[in-house]
């Protein structure tokens, strides 16, 4: 039996602050439905796919941002997406801002879920590598307040048996850290679903847009190759409330090569038939962890910041 998964990277164009949830959800439903029309098994949406990238704004109280978060999933506002998955028999991976009630204490996470073709949540990941700062930076053209709005994820790096393979998730800045992919790779991951919101401008570094796009692909391609896994990296792109977010949505094979890539900065599906069996050679030969990794010499990796 072949293990070919037809995957849609479901890139979103900008979601502006003036866009209500009622404006946004039909765009996701349309993409999911179009992906089902293309015969896809799974559609991958970006990070914070239901809202603008609100960490760019400072709000004096965390609760001022509550409308950007979901407390339950599916919430009534998102139910139509789950219904489409069930009706059209297509899975999806979705990023959103989560408020969890942990024994009376509210905790906020940047979260991604994996949903089956039956509309069941199969796995949840909470972003570990939160970039930016927790304090307002008045001199910056926009903020990057992820450390203010979110806590570090507490679910580790789960990998589950799903869609005929081993599936893991990570979110945006996680893609720049080799530890992310290795944590997934050590669990035999064959498909990483990954959403991002990445501005072309980095207010804290002198980097050209070309360098920014190069780094975007470099880290995902390296992660794919070194762990012999498919990586589906999906942007929220375009000019969102005055900040230009990069596109570059791509489906990357276990060889590290980009197999398919977006051509716009708007809502767009990038579809590719991902053969999960192509992960096997790299895992058994060039990157055979059992034979070639030397964890006894890697102590500093887990002991040093
Ligand atoms: N959402 C993100 O995590 N974005 C970061 C930017 C802000 C540096 C990224 O790594 O793309």
Segments making up each domain of the chain, as ranges? 4-303
- Note the pLDDT of residue 184: 99
**Spans of the chain, pLDDT less than 70:** none
Q: Please give the distance, rounded to the nearest whole angstrom, from the Cα atom of residue 261 to the centre of ligand 1.
A: 20
- Asked if the peptide bond before residue 74 counts as cis, ω within 30 degrees of 0, the response is yes
Q: Whose CA is nearest to atom 11 of ligand 1?
A: 198
Instruction: Specify the ligand 1 atom closest to the Cα of 202.
Output: 8
Q: Please give the distance, rounded to the nearest whole angstrom, from the Cα atom of residue 165 to the centre of ligand 1.
A: 28
Pairing of strands 230-235, 191-196: parallel
- Note the pLDDT of residue 238: 98
- Note the pLDDT of residue 5: 98
CB atoms within 10 A of CB 305: 2
- Note the pLDDT of residue 2: 81
Q: How far apart are CA 201 and CA 207, in angstroms?
A: 7
Q: Which residues does ligand 1 sit against, CB inside 6 Å?
A: 47, 131, 144, 172-173, 176, 196-198
Helix, strand or coil for residue 77? coil
Q: Are 160 and 116 in contact (CB under 8 A)?
A: no
Give CA 269 to chain center in angstroms: 15
Q: Please give the distance, rounded to the nearest whole angstrom, from the Cα atom of residue 58 to the centre of ligand 1.
A: 17
**H-only helix segments in the chain:** 21-37, 79-88, 146-149, 178-185, 209-227, 279-284, 289-292, 299-303
The CATH code that applies to domain 4-303 is: 3.60.110.10
Q: Whose CA is nearest to atom 5 of ligand 1?
A: 173
What is the pTM for the complete model shown? Answer: 0.98
- Note the pLDDT of residue 88: 98
Enzyme catalytic residues = 47, 127, 172
Q: Please give the distance, rounded to the nearest whole angstrom, from the Cα atom of residue 173 to the centre of ligand 1.
A: 5
Q: Whose CA is nearest to atom 7 of ligand 1?
A: 198
* Nearest CA among 71, 201, 97 for reference residue 144: 201
């Amino acid at each position: 039996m072949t293990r070919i998964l037809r995957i849609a990277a479901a890139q979103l164009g900008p979601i502006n602050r003036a866009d209500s949830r009622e404006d946004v959800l039909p765009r996701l439903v349309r993409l999911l439905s179009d992906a089902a029309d293309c015969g896809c098994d799974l559609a991958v949406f970006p990070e914070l796919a239901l809202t603008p990238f609100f960490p760019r704004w400072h709000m004096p109280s965390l609760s001022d941002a509550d409308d950007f978060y979901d407390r339950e999933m599916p919430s009534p506002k998102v139910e139509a997406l789950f219904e489409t998955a069930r009706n059209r028999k297509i899975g999806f991976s979705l990023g959103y801002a989560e408020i969890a009630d942990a024994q009376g204490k509210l905790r906020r996470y940047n979260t991604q879920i994996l949903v089956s073709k039956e509309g069941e949540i199969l796995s949840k990941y909470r972003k570990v590598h939160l970039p930016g700062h927790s304090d307002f930076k008045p001199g910056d053209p926009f903020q990057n307040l992820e450390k203010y709005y979110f806590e570090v994820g507490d679910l580790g790096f789960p990998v589950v048996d799903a869609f005929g393979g081993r599936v893991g998730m990570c979110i945006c800045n996680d893609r720049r850290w080799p530890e992310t992919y290795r944590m997934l790779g050590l669990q035999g991951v064959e498909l990483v679903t990954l959403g991002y919101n990445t501005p072309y401008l980095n207010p804290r570094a002198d980097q050209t847009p070309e360098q920014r796009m190069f780094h975007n692909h470099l880290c995902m391609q390296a992660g794919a190759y070194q762990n012999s896994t498919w990586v589906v990296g999906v942007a929220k792109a375009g000019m969102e409330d005055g900040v230009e977010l990069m596109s570059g949505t791509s489906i990357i094979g276990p060889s590290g090569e980009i197999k398919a890539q977006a051509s716009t900065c708007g809502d767009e599906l990038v579809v590719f038939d991902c053969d999960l069996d192509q992960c096997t050679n790299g895992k058994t030969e060039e990157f055979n962890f059992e034979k070639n990794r030397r964890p006894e010499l890697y102590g500093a990796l887990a002991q040093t910041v």
